[in-house]
Amino acid sequence: MIPRNVQITLVLLFLLVLVSGVYIVHLRRGTQDNLRAAAEGQAVAPPETGKREPVRLTIAYDDDGVFRTRQLNGVLPGEPEARARAVLQILIGQYVSRPSPHPLAPASAVKTVFLVNDKLAVLDLNEQFVDGHRSGVMVEDFTVLSLIDTLASNFPHLEQVKFLVDGKERETLAGHADLKTIYSTAAVHKLVEQLQ
């Protein structure tokens, strides 16, 4: 027969092992949920296939109320629609990094770019881009103008740009900037030049 104090010790050790096991399972589940949430919250990186080429960006600076052009090198695919998306993701990368001259939500991305007759570009933004965008006339307009002028600088044949959000039309970006309009790249470029 096992002495009573040894029995109590064994029961307590068993309970301790059981509680520790439950706690470890709980921690593992929480860690997996956190990793999944972090992965879903990251901006989509441009594809790494293609050759390194110069990309001209029109970057908005909120504090100064101006645009500045910057040339970076990026890996761009050969296919025009994928290339346009990669150019815009390079621009968005400038905005989601901290400190940012024009902060965007971390998961902001352009899902797809459709080129119609090489004259019209339709940009399909993800929902996080729009839902996480700050509200205000200037910051919303700066986002729209920056995207359009960056695209037009790298695709000079484009004449118009239209926005969608998750494949659907949306009234505004965050309450102010009109997303239903088909924008003229020439008119946007004139406006950007005035704000440089």
pLDDT of 89 reads 94
Residue 35 confidence (pLDDT): 58
Instruction: Indicate whether 68 pLDDT > 80.
Output: yes
101 exposed, middle or buried (CB, 10 Å; 0-12, 13-18, 19+)? middle
Distance, CA of 107 to CA of 146 (rounded, Å): 18
Structure tokens at 74: 């990026």
d(CA 196, CA 149): 12
* 153-177 per-position pLDDT tens digit: 999 999 999 999 998 998 878 877 8
pLDDT at 38: 54
Indicate if the pLDDT at residue 51 is higher than 60: yes
pLDDT at site 82: 93
DSSP conformational letter for 178: B
pLDDT digits 0-9 by tens, 94-109: 999 888 899 998 889 9
Sign of the four-CA dihedral 122, 120, 44, 177 = negative
Beta strands at 160-165 and 183-184: parallel, antiparallel or unpaired: antiparallel
Q: What tens digit of pLDDT does each residue of 104-162 get? A: 988 899 999 999 998 999 999 999 988 888 888 889 899 999 999 999 999 999 999 99
DSSP 3-69: -HHHHHHHHHHHHHHHHHHHHHHHHHHHHHHHHHHHHHHSPPPPPS-SEEEEEEEEEEETTTTEEEE
Instruction: Inform me whether the pLDDT recorded for 86 exceeds 90.
Output: yes
3-class secondary-structure state, position 161: strand
pLDDT band at 49 (very low <50, low <70, confident <90, very high): low
Q: Which of 104, 101, 96 is nearest to 131 (CA)?
A: 104
